[in-house]
Amino acid sequence: MLHLASLSYGYGHGRPVLSVDAFHLPAGRHGLLLGPSGSGKSTLLHLLAGILTPQAGKLEVAGMELSQLTPRQRDGWRGRAVGLLPQQLALVASLSVLENVLLPAYASGQRPDPGRAADLLDTLGLGDKLGAYPHQLSGGQRQRAAIARAVVMRPKLILADEPTANLDDQACAAVVQLLASQAEQAGASLLIASHDARVLAALPGASVLRLSALREAA
C-alpha cells in the first residue's frame, strides 16, 4: 500500500523539513506518524496525498509512483485513492453537510452518490443533519462530517492530521476508534499524524514512524 525510501522534502532552498529513510504500511493496516511540531508530519501527509512532490527518494502509494504523475493526474488519483481528514477540517461554510461529503466526487470528476453519503452520515449519527450547515454543528459533529467526507469514496488510504488535538482522553479514544472502524469498513489503510502519545495507546498494533524535528517549529 505505502512504500517510502530515502524520502526528503524542503521548502525553497533551505534545509529539508522532512527526511524518511524507509517506511512500509501494508494494505488494510494502521499506521502512526509521531513527532513534535516541525518534524514534517503534515508535509509527509501532503506528499502522500500528492499535494506536494518529493524532492528526492521513492514514494509509492497504492501501487502508484506519484512522482510519475502530472499535477492533473495526481488530482484525479487523489480523489479516487485518498481520503483526507485535515486538522482544520476544512468544511465549506456555504455548503450543507451532505454537499460537503459529496465534494470529493466532484473534485475527482466522478459521479457523486448521495445515497451512500446519506447512509454514511446516518451511521455517524448525522442522519438528521444532511441539510444543516457547518456553523450549525457542534465541534464533534463537524469532525464526524469531515470523517464521512474522507471515507465516502471508499479510498485505499485515509490520512488524518492531528485528529485528537484539544480532545480529552475519552474523546481521543473515541475518535481514533471511529477512524479505525471507518477505515476497516472502507477496506482502507489508515495513517494518523499526531504529537499526541495517547493515540499510540488507542491504536495498538499500528506501524509507527517517528519523525524528528529538522528545523525549528514555525
Give me the residue spans of the domains in the chain. Answer: 29-55+71-210
Burial 90-126, CB ≥16 within 10 A → b, else e: ebeeeebbbbbbbbbbeebeeebbeebbbebbeebeb
SS3 201: helix
Q: Where are the beta strands (DSSP E) in the chain?
A: 2-9, 18-25, 30-34, 56-61, 64-65, 82-85, 157-161, 189-194, 207-210
Please report where in the chains the cell 477512524 appears, as a residue. 179
pLDDT of residue 14: 63
172-203: per-residue pLDDT in tens?
888 888 889 888 888 889 999 988 888 888 88
* Residue type for position 19: S
Q: For residues 123 and 28, what is the distance between their CA atoms, to the nearest angstrom? A: 21
Residue 45: pLDDT over 90: yes
The model's pTM is 0.86
Find the DSSP H helices in 82-151. Answer: 97-107, 114-123, 139-151
pLDDT of residue 217: 36
The grid cell for 92 is 465549506
Residue 216: pLDDT over 70: no
Calculate mean pLDDT across residues 145-174: 88
87-142: per-residue pLDDT in tens?
888 899 999 999 999 998 887 778 899 999 999 999 888 999 999 999 999 988 99
pLDDT of residue 38: 78
Judge: domain 29-55+71-210, CATH 1.10.10.60.
Answer: no
pLDDT of residue 195: 85
